Amino acid sequence: MKQSEIKELSVAELQEKLSETKKSYSDLKLAHAISPLENPIQLRSVRRSVARIATELTKRELQ
């Protein structure tokens, strides 16, 4: 998910998206631990998406 897409979402949508991406990340980690993923770069991209969403939520809370 790109930063420009994240900025357009509301706070409620961001919180929902954050929980979805965190669950997706944990599922990917578990799948990767059992048998290697075909594309392990997915882990990095999902982890960075979680960070982007969390950063935007924190930024909005401080304003």
Using CA atoms, how far apart are residues 15 and 34, in angstroms rounded to an integer? Answer: 29
- Residue (of 61, 26, 33, 30) closest to 47 by Cα position: 26
Read off the pTM.
0.91
How is the chain split into domains, by residue range? 3-62
pLDDT per position as a tens digit, 16-34: 999 999 999 999 999 999 9
- Residue (of 13, 16, 22, 17) closest to 1 by Cα position: 17
Quote the mean pLDDT of the chain: 95
Burial of 62 (0-12, 13-18, 19+ CB in 10 A): exposed
Residue 8 above 90 pLDDT? yes
